[in-house]
Structure 1
Amino acid sequence: MQGSGQAYLQGEWLQDTSALQKRLVTYSLYNLKFTCDSFFVGMQSYTSVNHGDDSCVVNGRWAEYAKGVYEQKNDTIHLKGLFSNANGSYKVPNGCFRSGVYEEFFKVSKLTDSTLRFSPTSSVIPFNTHLVKRYTCNPKPL
């Protein structure tokens, strides 16, 4: 059976933009979905750098997706899965951007019932998210 995950995470969380991010050369905005012990993340990236004739970056924007399972220890969640397409299907290792294993660690702070702060271990810039939709975990057979 699928694990139940963390009750407070169940749902869809959208990153709030900040003035700091808009001053960066390149930044990403996260859309995180947690269902039971599974996750799906969409990363919308933006850059002001001119990449020339690049069919992967359109008007300084591109998107990447990943899905997998997560676990929490103390205040840190570990996301581990694979890069995927927008529809959740496995992304083959060719084409634009990253493919294969996706792995990220976030320190999570609960600010309110509908606001979380994620601090990625791969970055020094934390970001806040707000709850878009609450989910209820109904574990399914694997």
Structure 2
Amino acid sequence: MNPNMQGKGELYLQGQWQQDTSAVQKQLVTFSRYEMKFDCDSFYVQIHSQSKVNYGSDTCMRSGHWAEYVKGAYRQRNDTLFLKGQFCNADFSLKTNSDCFRVGPYEEFFKISKKADSLVQLSGTSNVIPINLHLIKRTTCTQKPL
């Protein structure tokens, strides 16, 4: 049976987090910067990408700058953070077409290290450079019915 209430998630992750762009990233041809929000057991991600190479139509890539959005549920087991969700529109409504970017399921897992109360590091399987997230705003989980 599925639960009738949203899960509590991880207390230390509740809030809005932002990745700082490092000097190493600025030297890369293409890089992404993450903004994440954790609300109870749900996550919302904005992936801001930048490229010095034009990979596609400028209506999509906007002179080498574009954003993708994901929402879903997360869970942590030991030092691994599992994110499972869907690519969305900018308002986090379900994305039904693939005009420019990825569409459909999003699954990623990261090794997570808590560096301080307001700093966590995510080491992903699809990126060599770790993601250092700084807490922007702390929030409290208010569970909602499903």
TM-score (norm 2): 0.94
Higher mean C-alpha deviation, range 118-127 or range 35-44: 118-127
Counterpart position of 2:114 = 110
The alignment's C-alpha RMSD in Å is 1.1
> Aligned residue pairs: how many?
142
Deviation at 1:94, TM superposition (A): 2.5
Structure 2 CA distance for aligned equivalents of residues 94 and 52 of structure 1: 13
- Superposition pairs for residues 116-127 of structure 1, below 5 Å? 116-127=120-131
Structure 2 CA distance for aligned equivalents of residues 134 and 16 of structure 1: 17
Deviation string 1:44-73 (CA, Å, 9 cap, x unpaired) is: 000000346531001110000000000111
Distance 1:10 1:18, change over 3 A: same
Asked if 1:71 corresponds to 2:75, the answer is yes
Which amino acid is the alignment partner of residue 4 of structure 1? K
Aligned equivalent of 1:94, options 95, 98, 103:
98
Which amino acid is the alignment partner of residue 103 of structure 1? E
TM-score (norm 1): 0.96
Distance 1:52 1:6, change over 3 A: closer
Structure 1 CA distance for aligned equivalents of residues 57 and 10 of structure 2: 44
Superposition misfits of 4+ residues, deviation over 2 angstroms: 50-54
Distance 1:5 1:96, change over 3 A: same
Unpaired segments of 5 or more residues in structure 1? Answer: none
Unpaired segments of 5 or more residues in structure 2? Answer: none
Counterpart position of 1:139 = 143
Distance 1:89 1:53, change over 3 A: closer
Contact 2:87 2:103 in 1 (8 A): yes
Counterpart position of 1:129 = 133
- Does the residue aligned with 1:132 lie in a helix, a strand or coil? strand
Structure 2 CA distance for aligned equivalents of residues 44 and 93 of structure 1: 20
Counterpart position of 2:20 = 16
Structure 2 CA distance for aligned equivalents of residues 50 and 43 of structure 1: 18
Higher mean C-alpha deviation, range 44-53 or range 117-126: 44-53
